[in-house]
Amino acid sequence: MGEVFGYALPMPSKADPSPGCSCGKRPDWATIEDDSVMRWQAVDIAEWEELRQCPDCGATWLAVWPEESESPPILCRPKPAGARKIRDIDHPATMRAFCLARIEEQLGEIKERKASCRKVNCKRNRLSGTTYCIEHLIAEQFGRHLARLSAGDEGSSRTK
Ligand SMILES: [Zn+2]
Ligand SMILES: [Zn+2]
């Protein structure tokens, strides 16, 4: 681990003499359209995630392929801010805004109904438009590591 792949070598970009950076103005998550971000130095790399550091202000940002290879990567402001290891990042918190936005796109609106989630032992209400509660919907769509599920929410232990 900690191995930086060839493409991630930090290269000072001469073509782009940016006056300062836009970290302060960036939203908490956004699809990566500007691939200069992907040339920032990677400080930690995992399978579908890369923690990259802004060369101007030193802030770290998490680049994530949220649905694995299906969609373009997104850039998230890590929580806690300034994390330098992917394992120190609170993934449910860091990815929350992204997950909620995606779910809202699908359901129109995130609204709880007075019926419980279809998962056994789950006491949360299901959302309108689905038979799952918000946490189980996140777990289904994005993976359990992004949901705030406790061990009691399901018999099985959490994966990854
Ligand atoms: Zn910056
Ligand atoms: Zn549930």
Write out pLDDT tens, residues 57-113: 999 999 999 776 677 899 999 999 999 999 999 999 999 999 999 999 999 999 999
Rounded to 10 degrees, the C-alpha dihedral 131/133/138/144 comes to: -100
CA of 113 to the centre of ligand 2 (A): 12
Kindly state the helix (H) or strand (E) to which residue 134 belongs, with its residue range: helix 134-142
Q: Which residues pair with 62 in a beta bridge?
A: 51, 76
Nearest to 15 by CA among 1, 44, 35: 35
Counting ligands in written order, the one closest to the CA of 147 is 2
pTM of the model: 0.78
Residue 45: is it exposed, middle or buried by C-beta count within 10 angstroms (0-12/13-18/19+)?
A: middle
Q: Are strands 112-116 and 125-127 parallel, antiparallel or unpaired?
A: antiparallel
Ligand having the closest approach to the CA of 24: 1
152 CA to centre of ligand 2 in angstroms: 11
